[in-house]
Structure 1
Amino acid sequence: MTFFLLSGALFRLNHTIKHIKLSPHFPVFSLFEKKFNMFIFLLLCTSITFTRALDCPGTAFDPPADTTKLTWYPNDFTNSTPPLFPNNFNCIYRINVPKGWSANIKLTMSMTIPPDRAVSVRVTDQNQFSEAVYSATNENFYFAAGQGNIKLNSREQNVRFGFSVQWYQIPTTFNPYYGSVTTATSQPSVWWAFSGSPIQIKAETRVSLVVTPPEDDEQLQNLRGMMIYDGPSWDAPCLGNALQVIKLQRQLVSSGQYMTFNQLRPSYPTGRAMLIFQDYQLSKDIVQYQGISFASLQDVGSISMNGVLGPSAITTVANTPTSGAEYLTSLSGSGNLDVYIGSKTSTKANLITSYNLNNTASYLPQEFLGYVRTYVFTGTDASLNLTHLSDQFSRNSFVGRKGFFASRYYKSGTPSLYQDVYDYIRAPTNSYFTYSFNLRAADFVGNTTLRIVVTNGAKTTYDQTFTSTRVPTFNSEVQALGDDLSVTYKTYGYSTTGYYMDYEIKSSNNYNILAVISFCLFLLVSMNILFVISLFVSHLLAYPDESSRINCNGSVNWDGISDTYPVTTYYPSYWNESNDAPFYETNQNCTWNILIPFQKYILFTMMADVDEDSSLVITDCNKKTETVMTSDLQPYVFVGTFFTIDLTVGSGNSTSFGFKIQWIDYPSTNSSYYTVSKNSSSLIYDGILFGNAETITAETQVSIVAFPSIWPDCTPLLRLSLVFDGPDINSTYLGTLYQSLRSGKPIISSGNQLTVYSFQEDYFVGPIYIAQDYYNIQNLTEIRGITCMSNASCPVTMNAANGPVSAMTLNIGDGDEYITRLDMSQGALLKVYIGTKKIDTEDNMIASYNVNQSKTNIPQKFNGNILTYYLEQGTALVELAEDSNYTRWNDACDGRDGFISSINYGFSTTIQNTTEYIGGLYPDQMFAFNLNVSFVDISNGSNLIISFQSETGKKEYIFSSENPMQNRIISDIGSTMTVDYVTNGTASSTGFYLTFKISSFQTTSSAYVNTLMVFVLVLISLL
């Protein structure tokens, strides 16, 4: 319509010009007419282009012939800033998804949000579930088979809008993980919401699903690709996605016995989002159901529960099945709260405690263990707070407090290996209480012990250890006076049902501290210290109170030029580190440009607590930024010519900020020199002497990858380790190790030299980094250094959507680590290298995994100081562990494949001795072991001994220089397999490598029984 109106108007104008041209008084109009006609043509073309770019399609979007290509709307939008749509533009963009396919939509839009929050963009999936969108940048939406749509109504809101669509075919082979839930079990089936293969769950009645969100809100969008199907495969009707389950705050329920979960392509990390499956018979009366996750160790915040329409529940999941606790710190409302270890059950066999909300003050805080905890509320409304901080439980003592200690899986329904626990309650300094405790239950299997101790300062007032031969008196109250009550329950590897003990703090006596305070007051008066007190009061009067807020609106420059250094400046001037940071007026922008004189550097510290609607951004001389929400005097070092502090205070009134700047003379350094090349080993650096710089020279360019500290609180100190592009610290500044760690990108020299130097001895914690030649990592889009903080679970997510990625781990202490779980997308291939990956050789690749191998070849143990995990395409979740007790590495099972290698296989070293053991859980379990010894070094007196233990004895296969064992393929039967590699301790060896396959084996007696049964059945049929 726009085209026709415009063309009509221009035609009439052109006709008028032609009429004017006929007059002899206008001879120049012949030339003008030509130019005008050209103008008309260009204008019409512009009109046509504009109309097509922002046209509302009359038909739906269908998959193109080449589904590897993206479909864009508008057609001139390709990941740039989307076009501005005219006011009151209305359109519904329909997207068809054929059966057996899915669609990924990446939406980008912005708008002026009106006061009534009227929606301009709404995305509706194939099930007609609708989401309003107010802002998005490449945000992921997914449609399953059917038709979804995006509705645009620009109103008058300055809407910029664009999206891309790509269709993906679902694999034709359905090869799922299997799980089951029943009404008899109290523990739900828990899965990570990130899986390269589908998950099929079978229930006794119907399947119920609850989802806990990821800790990072940015990963919430990726849960839209986690589709749930109402049946045994992905051919069943789609019930929705995981994000919808979270938003609806309800459990998702299958119509029959089966539910299937599948992650659509492209798959992106979902953090610690967890899928909690249980039989619907257990949870059918719950109306509101929320999955809760902790974003940090701090309080999760106030959780609201509404029971007006029926029972309300929340479920939380620990970091691992063997570690982690949470603490209920407050509870208010009207009604009752039941707490279950596991799922809610009708028998309440796993109910660990209940609360009447009218009487909770003396029963909190309380610790809850287990892997899954379910809080069920009945009543009108409730509000509760949870935290992971144990101090609120252990150091919060007051008269009248009541509670309990229990092992991790007490009341879980079955005995567990993971019942070991240590708990304590400690009195405030110079206080003590009468602790009253009552042991209700304890299971003493094998060597299990329970020790209860009460101490009063250095004196022990109660200390009893109970065992299977010294059983305690249950349900009998014991009292002891002291300042610390502790309980230790140890099972020494036995499965037990755990223990339970309740306690009460009945009285206190604080006369000691009162006497000290009275005596100190007497001394103060007698020594006439009033003058000192007056000085202190005057200082308080000089320091503004909270109502006096800072107005810093605008920009200032500070140069720090002085005749002598160091120079120290505080802002505000009356503030210093011993005081709380001052508060700021609302709705202002403040900028400090801090100039750095030649041959000086800056040590910067601050105290900050920034409101949610405010921001504090620190920018260095390379324009690299860091957004700060809280800081407690964590140090920064800045070099170059300047750095910038930008504070934007919003409408919130709780932003506080104060900082200290010290201009310091540039240091003189000594250098240590190292070299790396394309084919050399990488350089591991795990600490330096203060004052020394490390200068690294490469064959091409130098690459550095930083690792977090093994002490998480010390990782920010990597801000003090600076990297320079050349032979010394006077070279161009590139960045800090902390910046490299946060970005997932290496620091790369422009030439063949690079220098690392750590400032500030007082704060120093030796940095950990790996230096290598850039030639070997040039194709990577991401490379991360991983430090595992947990012995049991260290999840690493890898996404190669934009190109190959890698993750490196360091095992400098014991030199081993385990993959305990591996989830991969279809077509992905994960390679594992001992050391760093090199482009020109695969000699140090120790293993590779596809989707099928990720199910049969895990768990797996790896040896080596450096391990590199390399993913060229697709996605992978690699769950690592440092402690074999949490891995099941030593457990034999049917269908298991893997390999065993010496500690430093492939490297010539004297440190190669290795012992590995794999066997069944019970002595009468027999397995068929099939081994292929692909490499063994038996020189210099080294021996490889492989033995199999069975009921008939031990059988050994020995590889040595005297017995070289030409046949390296071994098949044997046994309950256990032991592999020993022993060197003479002085000569070097390159070790050994073997692969194994394990299958279950039926014993002769069992086979005889089966044969006899068949004979009997045949005989009966003949009669």
Structure 2
Amino acid sequence: MFWFGFLLIFPVFGEESTQPPLVNACLERQDLNPELPINISKTVSFPNDTNITFLENKGCSWAITIPNNYFAILYINASVPIGGSISVTQSPNHTEKFVDHHVEVALLFVAPSFNLNWFSGNSSKGSIHFTVNWQSFPENMTTQNYTLERNSSSIILDHEDTYTPVVFHAATKVSILCLPGTQREEDTYLRTGIVFDGPDLNSPFLGSLYSIMRSQSQLISTNSTVTIFSIVPIVSHHHVIVQDASMYQNISQIIGLNVNVSAVEIIKINAQSGNSVVFTHNNNPLIDEYLISVDLESGNELQVYFEGLSENQRVATYSTKNNRTHLPQKLQGRLRYYVLSSGNATLSLTRDKWKANWEKAFSGRRGFFTSKYWKSDNKQMRSQQDSFHFIGKEERNATEFRFSYRFLEADLSGDNNIHVVVSDNVQRIHYYDHRTSSEYTNDTEWYSHYGHSISLVYSSINAQSTGFFAEFEIDSASGNYSFWFIFVIVVSF
């Protein structure tokens, strides 16, 4: 019954109190300690007397103690006047402030303590009522353990993965990011996700998943180990991204973005204060992300990374020199990072290939093809590297182009294979390139052929594949015809 009651508590808005109390309600500072031994059924309430007043322009604070192996549930029901506020703080990295007209919210805290602060503003009509209940952590919980290497792929957890403690051991320090949920009303559930600065639940409090999401920054451990645990198991659509912090230095801002499946997202990045990062996550193998356009100032660059921010995970760089020819671009995989080091930029992203015009061929276009999870060192992802690419038109009156390509990386071990086809506008094959472990294994030469479309299929038959990376160029076919036209004239003459 206790847990059911907690699950029903969410932020709501309502009418303000209208009966001004008659006397001062609280002191400037008060200490609130649980009686020992702790009775988990007991709740401490404030105030005990309803006939009280909170004088205007007065502040009150409570320091609330929590023993090891326990957590506290704070429930607040308050009317906050204009200019007033409520704030709750747990050092070192968690503060929430409420200035809504009516506040009703449940919050979780862990050892050793937290502070609750009330300021009445310029009115005596406000009021705050709260309860505190101390609960013990469950016993004999199963712990998950992960090791984070330098330059390795990030570990991605669903919120549900943190219902039991998850311990991360990094080569240097641990960096934690949290992606907002697809349903914003679920963001409050992240308050139950606590990050401990060490190997267990008695380690110092470092922050909450909610504070990470709201801060637009990463949370970094003091040492090489952290523990993440969601105290109350509430289902939500959030993801936690964890990696070794060596790749995430000198970042002034990092923001997680959910890209709408059918819309075009316009993202503005400001890097006036230093490196600014936008990251996106996609766990659906049937959906890809497309970078449609990049508008930025001359001299600035936007860099795109897969899986992490080490140099070997960078896949593309865009500037005013190539942002017209090298886009749109299909960007596959789980995690993409868009990094701007200076100035301002505006990006257009979508997960709809038709809105991206991905299959449209035009003279001067440049780009690349990759396998589904290229750059990932996750074993599960490496078993799902199959991918298909197509650019051009298979219809009458389509324009013919010269399609050029080369493979810079290709895992053709075992039975892995690649098929490249250049066709005309009625699907007749002009050129067919089949690559296996016994053919073209290390061939990085450019190949060029004329047609109306190019398609590429990569099949990863092996249980583990590192995938492939290929560059392509599309140019006008008119140069080919000009040669034959001149040749015919010379022969005729």
TM-score when scaled to structure 2? 0.80
- 1:995 maps to amino acid: E
**CA–CA distance in structure 1, aligned partners of residues 129 and 482 of structure 2:** 77
- Residues of 2 paired with 1:820 and 1:960: CA distance? 30
| Structure 1 Cα separation of the partners of residues 81 and 123 of structure 2 | 6
For the residue of structure 1 that corresponds to 2:424, the secondary structure is: strand
What pairs up with 1:81-96 in 2 under 5 angstroms?
Answer: none
Asked if 1 retains the 8 angstrom alpha-carbon contact of 2:148 and 2:170, the reply is yes
Q: Which one-letter code corresponds to 1:760 in the other structure? A: V
Q: Residue 940 in 1 paired to residue 414 in 2? A: yes
* Counterpart residue number, 2:368: 899
Q: Which residue number in structure 2 is paired with residue 750 of structure 1? A: 222
Q: Distance in 2 between matches of 1:626 and 1:885?
A: 42
Which residues of 2 match residues 27-426 of structure 1 at below 5 A?
none
How far, CA to CA, are the matches of 2:324 and 2:52 in structure 1? 55
Matched residue, 2:452: 975
Out of 869, 874, 888, which is 2:357 matched to?
888
What's 1:613 paired with?
83
- Pair 1:1007–1:933, CA change in 2 (3 A): closer
Q: Structure 2 residue aligned with 1:685, among 133, 157, 160?
A: 157
Amino acid at match of 1:866: L
Equivalent position SS for 1:805? strand
The Cα offsets for residues 744-796 of structure 1, whole Å up to 9 and x where unpaired, read as: 222222222111111123x4547522222222222323333333355413344
1:885 deviation in Å? Answer: 3.6
Structure 1 partner of 2:67: 598
Task: Name 1:699's counterpart in structure 2.
Answer: 171
Counting only pairs closer than 5 Å after superposition, residues 526-537 of structure 1 correspond to structure 2 as none
Superposed displacement of residue 593, structure 1 = 0.5
In 1: Cα distance, 2:278 partner to 2:427 partner: 46
Q: How many Å apart are 1:589 and its aligned residue?
A: 2.6
The 1:910/1:894 distance shift into structure 2, 3 A limit, reads: same
Q: Is the 8 A contact 1:583 1:655 kept in 2?
A: no
Using a 3 Å threshold, how does the CA distance of structure 1 residues 585 and 888 change in structure 2: closer, same or farther? farther
The residue that corresponds to 2:474 in the other structure is 998
3-state SS, counterpart of residue 828 of structure 1: coil
Could you tell me which runs of 5 or more consecutive residues in structure 1 were left unpaired when the two chains were aligned. 1-543, 576-581, 1009-1023
Contact 2:418 2:456 in 1 (8 A): no
1:730, distance to aligned residue in structure 2 (A): 0.8
Distance in 2 (CA, whole Å) between partners of 1:612 and 1:971 is 70
Of 616, 627, 648, the residue aligned with 2:119 is: 648
- 2:389 is aligned to 916
Change beyond 3 A, Cα 1:553–1:607: closer
Matched, 1:729 2:224: no
SS at match of 1:548: coil
The equivalent residue for 2:488 is: none
- When the two chains are superposed, the root-mean-square deviation of aligned CA atoms in Å is 3.6
Q: Is the 8 A contact 1:927 1:999 kept in 2?
A: no
1:798: how far off?
Answer: 2.9
CA positional deviation for 1:921: 9.5
C-alpha spacing 1:902/1:546, structure 2 compared with 1 (3 Å): closer
Distance in structure 1 (CA, Å) of the matches to 2:249 and 2:444: 43
Match of 1:928 in 2: 401
- Aligned pair count reads 455
Q: Go from structure 1 to structure 2 and tell me whether the alpha carbon gap of 1:952 and 1:666 turns closer, same or farther (over 3 Å shift).
A: closer
1:622 to 92, 107, 121: 92
Matched-pair contact (CA < 8 Å) for 2:178–2:212: yes
**Contact 2:17–2:126, Cα closer than 8 Å, also in 1:** no
Larger radius of gyration: 1
Is contact 2:26–2:54 with CA below 8 Å preserved after alignment?
no
Structure 1 residues 826 and 659, CA gap change in structure 2 (3 angstroms): farther
Tell whether the 8 Å contact from 2:247 to 2:309 is kept in structure 1 after alignment.
yes
What residue number does 1:225 align with? none
Structure 2: how far apart are the matches of 1:718 and 1:646? 22
Choose from 17, 30, 38 the match for 1:557: 30
- Per-residue CA distance 1:587-632 (angstroms, 9 max, x = gap): 3334230412423321123345645533332222437422223476
Residue of structure 2 equivalent to 1:315 = none
Cα distance between partner residues in 1 of 2:268 and 2:190: 23
**Alignment TM-score, normalising by the size of structure 1:** 0.41
Distance 1:964 1:545, change over 3 A: closer
Distance 1:1007-1:934 versus aligned 2 partners, 3 A rule: closer
Structure 1 CA distance for aligned equivalents of residues 394 and 463 of structure 2:
38
Matches within 5 A, 1:806-817: 806-814=277-285, 816-817=288-289
Structure 1 CA distance, aligned partners of 2:227 and 2:16?
A: 47
Out of 220, 223, 240, which is 1:769 matched to? 240
Question: How many percent of aligned residue pairs carry the same amino acid?
Answer: 24
Bigger drift between 781-790 and 746-755 goes to 781-790
Q: Give the 5 Å matches for 1:769-808.
A: 769-789=240-260, 791-808=262-279
In the alignment, is residue 638 of structure 1 matched against residue 109 of structure 2? Answer: yes
Greater RCO structure (CA 8 Å; 6+ sep) = 2
Alignment CA distance shift 1:627-1:791 (3 Å): farther
The residue that corresponds to 2:440 in the other structure is 964
